[in-house]
């Protein structure tokens, strides 16, 4: 898709920002003042315009139901965590829930030891899947895209709604099966267990969020050094001077909304003593961006609005959501990011 190349070629890396083992090179772009024509997850839930619930009283681990009662689409970023109901989940892909629609979301459980109601619905935990697990998830989903064709259908959702929810169009575009949006639940659980061990977290329900809670003070000290710059739409993140991943959103507002979650997701994998390393220069960000531009692009209809693109190549992998010929969100990771130096 030319939209990805056009977006990435417009990015300009700024001066590095550094704390501990983590370094960020901010990315700005011409025309980045373009406003987001959608609501973000946290604000939509806080305003009561987005309700996320189990698909039924019995529940299905791999799916949740999103009800958007607003007149704007709602954006959920890949890896954002939803907390509550029968167990905590993360969203498997970046998804735009249409205005006034009900949508089945492909999700993965990040709390293996609980399957009982903690709350009627879900709230935003304020966190996202940590960087190492997002890399592994991106690899698995890109590989799956190579082997599968999209199996998606348009279908109406006939669930009964309370009278006070407001008008709902009754439109839902959902996958007939998880298909391309299956992140491999068993592998997600393995990744979470690894993070719990690495952070020294004892969790009664094997909840990823408990790692963030246990190391909250350390993560807060590290993440406090990073603040989005004026007009920033993305960033390249490094751990110990090695490029780990790139994150790009369609506007400064959208990037600002996810910024804290993204930074903390990289911080969780950047805890511990800082080894000596060379500070990355803007040229390294340009080289990483060029590598992402060269990745294979495998396109499929998104679960919601737009097109879901899986990115893959020998050195990196990732994904993007394209809507109206613009990049809504793109993330890509170096496959060598967490290999031994």
Query: Which tens digit of pLDDT belongs to each residue from 60-110?
Result: 999 999 999 999 999 999 999 999 999 999 999 999 999 999 999 999 999
Measured torsion, CA atoms of residues 205, 208, 214, 217, in degrees rounded to the nearest 10: -160
Q: State yes or no: pLDDT of 143 exceeds 50.
A: yes
CA proximity to 67, closest of 181, 149, 165: 165
Q: State yes or no: pLDDT of 121 exceeds 50.
A: yes
Q: State yes or no: pLDDT of 133 exceeds 70.
A: yes
Q: State yes or no: pLDDT of 171 exceeds 60.
A: no
The predicted structure's pLDDT at residue 36: 75
Q: State yes or no: pLDDT of 151 exceeds 60.
A: no
Both tokens assigned to 58: 């019995």
Q: State yes or no: pLDDT of 288 exceeds 90.
A: yes
The continuous run of DSSP H or E covering 239 comes out as: strand 232-239
Q: State yes or no: pLDDT of 153 exceeds 60.
A: no
The predicted structure's pLDDT at residue 8: 96
The predicted structure's pLDDT at residue 340: 84
If pLDDT is split at 50, 70 and 90, which confidence band does 179 have?
Answer: low
Angle formed at CA 281 by CA 79 and CA 317, multiple of 5 degrees: 35
Per-residue pLDDT tens digits for 3-51: 999 999 999 999 999 999 999 999 999 765 567 789 999 999 999 999 9
Give the pTM.
0.90
Are 316 and 8 spatial neighbours (Cβ–Cβ below 8 Å)?
Answer: no
Domain spans of the chain, in order of start: 2-334
| Average pLDDT rounded to a whole number, residues 236-259 | 96
Distances (CA, A) of 179 to 145, 182, 206, 301, 308: 9, 6, 26, 12, 13
Both tokens assigned to 225: 């050094």
Higher-pLDDT residue of 154, 7: 7
The predicted structure's pLDDT at residue 308: 96
Q: State yes or no: pLDDT of 164 exceeds 50.
A: no
Q: State yes or no: pLDDT of 158 exceeds 70.
A: no
If pLDDT is split at 50, 70 and 90, which confidence band does 320 have?
Answer: very high
Radius of gyration for the alpha carbons in the chain, expressed in angstroms and rounded: 19
If pLDDT is split at 50, 70 and 90, which confidence band does 160 have?
Answer: very low
Are 89 and 64 spatial neighbours (Cβ–Cβ below 8 Å)?
Answer: yes
The predicted structure's pLDDT at residue 33: 57
């Amino acid at each position: 898709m030319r939209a990805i190349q056009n977006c990435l070629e417009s990015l300009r890396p700024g001066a590095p920002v550094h704390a501990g083992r983590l370094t960020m090179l901010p990315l700005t772009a011409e025309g980045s003042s373009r406003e987001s024509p959608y609501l973000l997850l946290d604000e939509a839930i806080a305003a009561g315009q987005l309700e996320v619930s189990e698909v039924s009283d019995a529940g299905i681990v791999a799916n949740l139901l999103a009800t958007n009662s607003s007149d704007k689409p709602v954006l959920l970023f890949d890896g954002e965590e939803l907390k509550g109901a029968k167990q905590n989940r993360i969203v498997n892909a970046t998804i735009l829930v249409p205005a006034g629609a009900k949508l089945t979301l492909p999700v993965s459980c990040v709390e293996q030891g609980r399957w009982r109601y903690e709350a009627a619905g879900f709230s935003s935990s304020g966190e996202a899947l940590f960087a190492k697990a997002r890399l592994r998830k991106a690899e698995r989903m890109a590989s799956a895209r190579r082997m599968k064709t999209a199996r998606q259908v348009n279908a109406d959702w006939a669930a009964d709604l309370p009278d006070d929810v407001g008008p709902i169009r009754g439109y839902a575009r959902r996958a007939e099966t998880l298909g391309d949006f299956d992140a491999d639940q068993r592998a997600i659980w393995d990744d979470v267990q690894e993070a719990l061990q690495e952070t020294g977290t004892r969790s009664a329900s094997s909840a990823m969020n408990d790692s963030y809670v246990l190391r909250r003070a350390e993560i807060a000290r590290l993440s406090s050094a990073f603040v989005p710059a004026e007009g920033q739409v993305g960033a390249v993140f490094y751990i110990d001077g090695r490029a780990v991943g790139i994150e790009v959103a369609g506007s400064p507002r959208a990037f600002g909304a996810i910024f804290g979650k993204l930074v903390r997701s990289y911080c969780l994998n950047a805890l511990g003593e800082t080894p000596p390393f060379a500070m990355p220069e803007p040229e390294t960000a340009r080289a990483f961006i060029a590598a992402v531009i060269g990745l294979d692009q495998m396109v499929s209809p998104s679960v919601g609005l737009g097109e879901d693109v899986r990115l893959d190549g020998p050195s990196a992998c990732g994904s993007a959501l394209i809507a109206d010929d613009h990049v809504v969100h793109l993330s890509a990771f170096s496959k060598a990011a967490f290999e031994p130096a």
